[in-house]
Structure 1
Amino acid sequence: MRRIAGRLGRQTPLAAPPARPFAGVPEAYAAVRTTPQERYDQFAANWSALTGTVWTVRAADAADAVPALARRICAERGIDRAIRMDHPDLAALPLDAALAADGVAVVPWRADGADGADGFAADGADAAGPGSAWSRRSPLLRAAERCRLGIVCADYAVANTGTLVVLAHGGRGRSVSLLPDTLFAVVRADRLVTRMGEAFEAIRRDYPDAATMPSSITLITGPSRSADIENDLTIGIHGPGSVYAVVIEP
């Protein structure tokens, strides 16, 4: 520490921590206010710059438009299996029936267990072996591993970074957004915020009790990107390689 202090031009290390008269982001940044349209435009621009695809639909048309977009994704990418969060906003949309009409099987991630996942989980178990680590995983997790589309309802969307905020708890398992190679996210326009701090403030407000806090917070800023020490970029290693978002406007 003395050597570091010397490099900083001090004879001895500090005996007390430096004062911190300010906390949080600069006041000028915190004071920025944006309109709903500005938030959407900024989110769409940033999400698209990250090679994501974004659409908007009116709430009155969502029951038809959102399943149609999901069917379009599956048709274009040759997807025949999907897993979705057990979320009331998704349950209000006839996604399962619409995808089933195209031969796409959908498993809901239910908090109470593997209802509907057994067929997916068992598929391929013989190849892995009855005593394998894969066969000992929960049916829901094994089902998610074998689905190519994950359907989630984002809790918030951050405009200035193009980020989706997805909370995991109950029927909203984090594996739904992490294991499939394609992500389809639904978010309400009133859940668009300007900056990340607003989303964290809202989470603290919605979950004041530590016992009820979500088990994890997943921040999704475009497709998964990974790079090694030589800066070789690879897409889709630690999460979906293709991402789609639909914003439901009032």
Structure 2
Amino acid sequence: MAVYNRERFLDQLAGRLGRPRKTTADRPAYSVQPQERVFQGADQDQLLGKLKEQCEIIHTSLVETTFDELGDTLRRVWEEGHIQNIVSAGGPRLEAYGLLDVYETMRQEGYNIHIWDEQGGRDYVAEAEKAGAGVVFSDVTLAESGTVTLFNDRWNGRSISLLPETFVAIIPKSTLVPRMTQAAQIIHEQEKKGVPVSSCVSFITGPSNSADIEMNLIVGVHGPVKATYILVDDKEG
């Protein structure tokens, strides 16, 4: 959308306020910053403990596995959920975590697995609507709230985490941070370094939950009914 006469308008506005026009804003120095102190100094195991506690509150299953056993763990999750149709985020991490070979083997066993790519267009959205599970990788994981952060891009469409009945998030242990404060700092630092961050960042906390005015909880109104987090010890990955 075109913007007309913006500079002149802002100059006139500053003149009416009786001051020079400001073109930059200085970050305020707050005397109290409690957001920095929550779980300050906690190591990854302590953050994992908090994540486990929070998953019980948000009705989310958490499964721990190793880098080498990730494929078998995924298979077990799908078998227990009687899931045959799967849509998965694509990109370099599939190969890095050995899932390309796992997916190919499972296809031969009768599983219907679609790996997301922007070239699929609306066809992949339709597959996500029919899928029993959508599989994504968490880019940053907030221990305090049990939230996974997704940098949606051409390998990771939003439909993967929104449309299937079950939401499955693979969480590398190295992505654990205390809370939203650290996630925002990571995004900010990436931008300062010139590393492009997705124009769409999704923060997802367990399955879809809605409550009416009387606080009656209903699950799955506008998203997945179930959520499973697979925590991977990625020290070897």
* TM-score grouping bracket, smaller chain normalisation: 0.7 to 0.9
Q: Return the TM-score normalized by structure 2.
A: 0.77
Letter in 1 for 2:40: V
In the alignment, is residue 189 of structure 1 matched against residue 178 of structure 2?
A: no
Letter in 2 for 1:107: H
In the alignment, is residue 170 of structure 1 matched against residue 178 of structure 2?
A: no
What is the CA deviation profile of residues 66-114 of structure 1, one whole-angstrom value per residue up to 9, with x for unaligned ones?
Answer: 2222222222222111000013222332341243244211111113x11
Letter in 2 for 1:96: Y
In the alignment, is residue 246 of structure 1 matched against residue 233 of structure 2?
A: no
In the alignment, is residue 141 of structure 1 matched against residue 125 of structure 2?
A: yes
- Segments of 5+ residues of structure 1 without an aligned counterpart are 1-19, 115-136
Distance 1:212 1:68 in 2: 34
* CA-CA distance at 1:230 after TM superposition: 3.6
Alignment of 1:201-216 (within 5 A): 201-208=185-192, 212-216=196-200
In the alignment, is residue 85 of structure 1 matched against residue 89 of structure 2?
A: yes
Letter in 1 for 2:78: C
Letter in 1 for 2:54: N
Look up the match of 1:68: 72
Coordinate RMSD, CA, aligned: 2.4
In the alignment, is residue 34 of structure 1 matched against residue 18 of structure 2?
A: no
Distance 1:168 1:30 in 2: 27
Cα contact 1:87–1:153 (8 A) shared by 2: no
Classify 1:208/1:105 alpha carbon distance in 2 versus 1 (closer, same or farther; 3 Å): farther
Classify 1:69/1:229 alpha carbon distance in 2 versus 1 (closer, same or farther; 3 Å): same
Letter in 1 for 2:190: D
Classify 1:228/1:165 alpha carbon distance in 2 versus 1 (closer, same or farther; 3 Å): same
What is the CA deviation profile of residues 199-244 of structure 1, one whole-angstrom value per residue up to 9, with x for unaligned ones?
Answer: 1111122234899331322112121101233433210122211111
Which of the residues 117, 125, 144 maps onto 1:110?
A: 117
Cα contact 2:117–2:154 (8 A) shared by 1: yes
Which of the residues 214, 220, 232 maps onto 2:204?
A: 220
Letter in 1 for 2:30: F
Classify 1:142/1:51 alpha carbon distance in 2 versus 1 (closer, same or farther; 3 Å): same
Letter in 2 for 1:38: Q
Look up the match of 1:47: 55
Classify 1:229/1:42 alpha carbon distance in 2 versus 1 (closer, same or farther; 3 Å): same
- Segments of 5+ residues of structure 2 without an aligned counterpart are 1-27
Cα contact 2:65–2:73 (8 A) shared by 1: no
What is the CA deviation profile of residues 126-173 of structure 1, one whole-angstrom value per residue up to 9, with x for unaligned ones?
Answer: xxxxxxxxxxx8111111111110000010111111111111112111
SS in 1 for 2:154: coil
SS in 1 for 2:37: helix
Distance 2:202 2:36 in 1: 28
Distance 1:88 1:24 in 2: 41
* CA-CA distance at 1:58 after TM superposition: 2.5
Look up the match of 1:3: none
SS in 2 for 1:223: coil
Letter in 2 for 1:84: S
Distance 1:82 1:170 in 2: 18
Classify 1:77/1:216 alpha carbon distance in 2 versus 1 (closer, same or farther; 3 Å): same
Q: Return the TM-score normalized by structure 1.
A: 0.73
Letter in 1 for 2:177: V
Classify 1:71/1:237 alpha carbon distance in 2 versus 1 (closer, same or farther; 3 Å): same
